Each structure stands twice: as C-alpha cells, then as structure tokens.
Amino acid sequence: MHGGTAAERARSMARSGQHFLQIPGPSPVPERVLQAMDRQVIDHRGPEFGRLGREVMDGCRSIFRTAGPVVIYPSSGTGAWEAAIVNTLSPGDRVLMAETGQFATLWRQMAARLGLEVEFIPGDWRRGAPPDVIEATLASDRSHAIKAVMVVHNETSTGALSRVPAIRRAIDAAGHPALFMVDTISSLGSADYRHDEWQVDVTIACSQKGLMLPPGLGFNAMSEKALAASRTNRMPRSYWDWAEMLKPNANGFFPYTPATTLLYGMREAIAILHEEGLDAVFARHHHLAAATRAAVGAWGLEVLCQEEAEHSPVLTAVMMPPGHDADHLRKVVLESCDMSLGAGLGKLAGKVFRIGHLGACNSLVLAGALSGVEMGLARAGVPHRAGGVAAALAVLAEPGDGGLRTQERHGKAA
C-alpha cells in the first residue's frame, strides 16, 4: 500500500509527467545510480566488498582532489560535522566561524554543545565568509588561542559561495596555525573544490547533493595536520573515531556495517562525474546559475546573494517582494506545476524561495523549472515582469562557463 491519505494518493495518480525536485538537495538521483543500487547486499567482510570499498575510497579522493584519506560514514552531513570536530578539537578550544546563513548557525550551535568556545563573525546572510575579517581576527590572536577556522563553502540557505582560496591566504597572511575546516555539503561535485591545493585540513561533505545519491553518507577528508591533531585532542568519540575507520579502510573495509547499496551508487556517481569531467561539471553548474539569475533579474526580483564573485553555482535564493509570502508561492507552484522549490530557512522563512540547479540538472530541466516559477508567480499574484524564461533561454542558448572564470579571477584577486 502507498502511504498518505486517499486524497493524496488520488492527486498523485492524477498527475502526469515527472515531479520537478528543484530544492538545493536532496537532488534527483540519476537512473544510472538508481540501477547501480538495485543489487543484493553482499558480505561486508568478504573479498568482493573489499574491492568495492577500495574503488569507492579511491574515487572519493579524486572528487575531493586529495591524495590523503577520505572516510565515509553511514550518516548525514550533520554527522560529518560532528566527526570533524570530535577528531581534532578539545573541550574549551576556541574556534572562529562566520555567520553566512542557517547552516553556519547550526554548525556553530553544534560546536557550542560539544564544549567549544565559538567566536562568530556576524553577517547579513547575503554574502560568504569575509577573508579580510578572518585575517584581522587571526592576526590579533597573538597567543594562537584560536584552534580552528570553520567555514561553509556553499551556504545552502542563501546561495552565497565563500571564497575558500582567499580564506586560506588570509590564514597564511596572519601566520596563524589554526586548522582550516570547510563544509562542502552542498558544493562537492557541483562547485570547484580542491582539498589539497587549497590546504584545507578537514573537508565535510554528504551524499545527497552534488554527488547525486540518496541521503545516508557523510564524508571527512583530512590533511596530515588534522590527523596529527586527532592523535592528541581530548574530545570523546567512538562511532566517529577516524583511527577506528582508517585501520580497516586500508583494505576497503569498515569497522561496522556499511551502507552497501549506497556505496554501489557512489561508485556509479563517481564514474558519471568523471565521464563528464569535473571542470565541465563545474562549468555546467555556473552556466545554469547564470541563466537562473538572468531570469530573476528579468522578473524584476532580487537575488539574495549580493556579491557577484560569491554567487552560488548550486542554487539561487530569490527574495520576495514586500508583503508576499514565499511559502504561499511554493504551495501554488507545488499544487499547480508539481514542482518543489526550496523554503527560506531560519530568519529567511517566508522571505525567500530557493531554486536548486545542482547535480544532474541540465539546460532543459532548468528551462522547465523556471517556466514553473514564472507560472507560479502569476498564479500566486506576485508582482513581477514577464520574460524571465526568455532571458534564461538566451543565456542557455549560448555556450559558455556561466561566469566560472570571472569567479575564479575574483577568488584569486581577493
């Protein structure tokens, strides 16, 4: 029996076509990944699993762009956050974080619950983490009391992308030894990211966004500096302990029962990303994002992120006109177009809606999604100009990187 009420089942059966899942994660799972997961589980202590585990772990390193280890937890991204903290820091340690949005705020709350002292750089939720403020704060910390700098790469609640290379340069310019931790939960596999080159100490990620899998896998990539910290820190851990993971990982195994079917899917998702080529994947996402911003501008609405160099390639958060409720618009779009848009989170609830254009999204999918938004704006009575879809199509019809090189230039100059 299908779940839901009889009325809900009737509405579902009456709909034709495919549901548009345009939230910024979980993203739609490609058919190839679904088919790869449609397999019987195997002995997770046997040789076939060892081969699978080694293949997936090696593939993960290629996506994080690291030669170091990547551990895989049966967890959400939140679990990967906790693993990063408990393996490197001690109760009472001071850490520096930036208020870029709802997820940075939640990470701060977790850090405080785990006994860390958090210095939180205030923000307006319309831009990424500020490299200049980070540099000044670290430069003034002459006793090196700050043990880690922790930033969200792509703030899923706002559509702002923090400039990780510029933050790395800020840490170096301050001559500070703090660990550098980066949340790539909504960016890995969709936005350019380089764990080793950008000298990140711990990278946090999960499966259900740019990696195009169902929820259920959390990841930590770690540097030698982070591993050294894990051998001397005093935070209690058991399930999350890197040392316990790394020992069996050397042969492709796990210290406890792994999520075997998700690992099948992960192997296929890695293959898909490499077949397209990571640089091509990132350029595609920037192209889709540029088309989405063109639509928003043509509608006469405002993109939440105010910094051109920090526009997210993963999602676009759109501000509602005063007096109009984003959740009402989302309800109208869902009921009339069978499309899910992302809600405003935290203090943005009801004020913005979010259009996801990540993972397996392509130009035709985005064109359909933006058509649904334009129809929804009209049906919900939201003041706007017509022509957003046409403006997006003009961008999509032209080859290009959607501003990827412009953003790279901004990042290197910052």
- Read off the pLDDT of residues 285-325 as tens digits, 9 standing for 90 and up: 999 999 999 999 999 999 999 999 999 999 999 999 999 99
In this predicted structure, the answer to whether residue 413 has a pLDDT above a threshold of 60 is no
Average pLDDT, the chain: 94
Report residue 229 as tokens: 């910290």
User: Which CATH number is correct for 31-273, 3.40.50.720, 3.40.1440.10, 3.40.640.10, 1.10.3720.10?
Assistant: 3.40.640.10
- Read off the pLDDT of residues 163-216 as tens digits, 9 standing for 90 and up: 999 999 999 999 999 999 999 999 999 999 999 999 999 999 999 999 999 999
Q: Is the pTM of this model over 0.85?
A: yes
Residue ranges of the alpha helices (H) in 40-157? Answer: 47-64, 77-86, 102-113, 131-140
Please state, in angstroms and rounded to a whole number, the distance separating the CA atoms of residues 238 and 256.
11
Q: Where does 9-29+277-413 sit in CATH, by number?
A: 3.90.1150.10
Same topology for domains 9-29+277-413 and 31-273, yes or no? no
Residues 6+ apart with CB under 8 A from 190: 154, 209, 210, 281, 282, 285, 313, 314, 358, 359
The pLDDT assigned to 133 comes to: 98
- Read off the pLDDT of residues 390-405 as tens digits, 9 standing for 90 and up: 999 999 999 865 444 4
In this predicted structure, the answer to whether residue 15 has a pLDDT above a threshold of 50 is yes
- Read off the pLDDT of residues 63-120 as tens digits, 9 standing for 90 and up: 999 999 999 999 999 999 999 999 999 999 999 999 999 999 999 999 999 999 999 9
Please state, in angstroms and rounded to a whole number, the distance separating the CA atoms of residues 262 and 254.
14
- Read off the pLDDT of residues 35-46 as tens digits, 9 standing for 90 and up: 999 999 999 999
User: Would you kindly state where each structural domain of the chain is located, as residue ranges?
Assistant: 9-29+277-413, 31-273
318, containing H or E segment: strand 315-319
Please state, in angstroms and rounded to a whole number, the distance separating the CA atoms of residues 94 and 145.
6
Q: Map residue 21 onto helix, strand or coil.
A: strand
Q: Is residue 409 a known part of a binding site?
A: no
Q: Map residue 166 onto helix, strand or coil.
A: helix
Report residue 273 as tokens: 């990303």
The pLDDT assigned to 3 comes to: 54
Report residue 316 as tokens: 């676009």
